[in-house]
Amino acid sequence: MTSAGPTLAAARQDGRAALVGYLPAGFPTVDGSIALMRALVDGGVDVVEVGLPYSDPVMDGPTIQAAAETALAAGSRTADVFRVVQATAAFVPTLVMTYWNPVERYGVERFAADMSAVGGAGLITPDLVPDEADEWIEAADRHDLDKVFLVAPSSGPHRLRLATAHCRGFVYATAVMGVTGARDQTSSAAPELVRRTREVTDLPIGVGLGVSSGAQAAEVASYADAVIVGSALVRAVLDAADLAAAVEQVTVLTKELARGVRGELREPEQS
């Protein structure tokens, strides 16, 4: 299996941020989600986040909630998530983003072992804090998996040190407080959060929540090691007429985002 850390570090060595793209497994179907993950790869993502659909996604905004509902209604289960991970991990490091309850129900050791078996990089656990994560930390370490915990603008020095000390792969910095969703403007709190986080860790820092365009991706890439995009990609699928159109729209948006993180977007001409 491949940790996301070296990929993010290599992007930083190249003088750019990495692009991390999120889509839920099983959305709109399992096979459809595999096709969409391939569109992310074809569009230029460096790392893929595969969302595990959950029936009570309290931290997600309406766009990702709608995608999770579609996946669950189509019969998506945890075993399908591993199938999607396996199909994607052959191309780029692939993590699962999941609430903690499904992992506990599945069995922490079993989940870690199955992630390792399909080549997954590890987990992003938005509602699990390190001081309550002993079982996961031990299982992840046994199976050589990334452990990605979150920090937020509200995180004080102690919380920043605790979270980053237990991360492997990268640190996930949530750019805004509240639920997820694409926004017209990125958070003004994000640069300061990244600065404070850099004071306590050398790990790459990815910023998520709110990016929806190449210009925004370029803005976040100016201070973060990775730009994480989810809701905008999900919205591209929801707005598409069919799967073929969704694949095309995801590819186009991902290419724009990739150009943004690589500094390839042209500045507008002055009149």
Q: Higher confidence at residue 58 or residue 166? A: 166
Active site annotation includes 114: no
pLDDT of residue 58: 60
Look over the chain and give the mean of its residue pLDDT values, rounded to a whole number. 91
User: Tell me: the pLDDT tens digits for 214-226?
Assistant: 999 999 999 999 9
pLDDT at 270 over 60: no
Q: Give dist(CA 140, CA 96) in Å, integer.
A: 13
In the prediction, which pLDDT does 39 show?
A: 98
Say how far residue 251 (Cα) sits from the centre of its chain: 17
Say what the alpha-carbon torsion angle 78, 83, 84, 86 is, to the nearest 10 degrees. 130
Q: Is the pLDDT of residue 257 over 90?
A: yes
Reported residue count of the chain is: 271
Strand order across the beta sheet in which 171-174 lies:
146-148, 122-124, 94-97, 47-51, 18-24, 226-229, 205-208, 171-174, 150-151
- The correct CATH number of 4-261 out of 2.115.10.20, 3.40.50.410, 3.20.20.70, 3.10.20.30 is 3.20.20.70
Quote the CA–CA distance of 262 and 265 in Å, as a whole number.
Answer: 8
The pLDDT of residue 266: 60
For residue 15, the tally of other CB atoms under 10 A from its CB is 8
Strand partners, 124: 97, 148
What tokens does 200 get? 């306590």
- Strand 205-208 versus strand 94-97 pairing type: unpaired
Structure token digits, residue 128:
């699990």
Please state the rounded mean pLDDT for residues 27-31: 95
Active site residue 49: yes
For residue 179, is pLDDT > 70? no
Residue 65 pLDDT class (50, 70, 90 cuts)? confident
Out of 14, 31, 60, 131, pick the active-site residue: 60
Over residues 94-143, the pLDDT tens digits come to: 999 999 999 999 999 999 999 999 999 999 999 999 999 999 999 999 99
Which residue is catalytic, options 46, 49, 146, 225?
Answer: 49
Tens digit of pLDDT for each residue in 186-205?
A: 557 899 999 999 999 999 99
- Predicted local confidence at residue 183, as pLDDT: 43
Q: What would the mean pLDDT of 157-168 be, rounded to a whole number?
A: 97
Could you tell me the residue ranges of all domains in the chain? 4-261
Q: Does residue 150 surpass a pLDDT of 60?
A: yes
